[in-house]
Structure 1
């Protein structure tokens, strides 16, 4: 009887150890997965900042070009006779 009890206790210890190892492996996999997701998130945020910066550059350039176009479309201003004949 004592031998069977010891065998049973050894088997329970072995199963407990296996479960602890499985739990540790699962925790490690979870941490690795979390780290991967964190890196992906940072990469996406960095890319979004780059796109936003490019968009703002393009927007400013577009505004400058539209302003230039408005100036080119304006009719030429006539010279005032007073300005042409004024002496400085």
Structure 2
């Protein structure tokens, strides 16, 4: 039996955007809260913002894209062909 593959719609795009914003707010709130409570020193808070936060956002984007159906598997790929231009075309 063939499997039906539906592409994500506008609701998935809205959910993805909302999830990315919520992830960013949660991550930044966590870093600021830990800094405010004195758990993180300024150098470690800067390290978390510059190096760890982007990795966290990539992870969040990956999880959201798989959950919402944006992921692609090898069966979704198709060959790409270029048309050959003949060198003896008249101008």
TM-score, structure 1 normalization: 0.34
Q: Based on CA coordinates, which of the two structures has the bigger radius of gyration? A: 1
Q: Which has the higher contact order (CA 8 A, sep 6+)?
A: 2
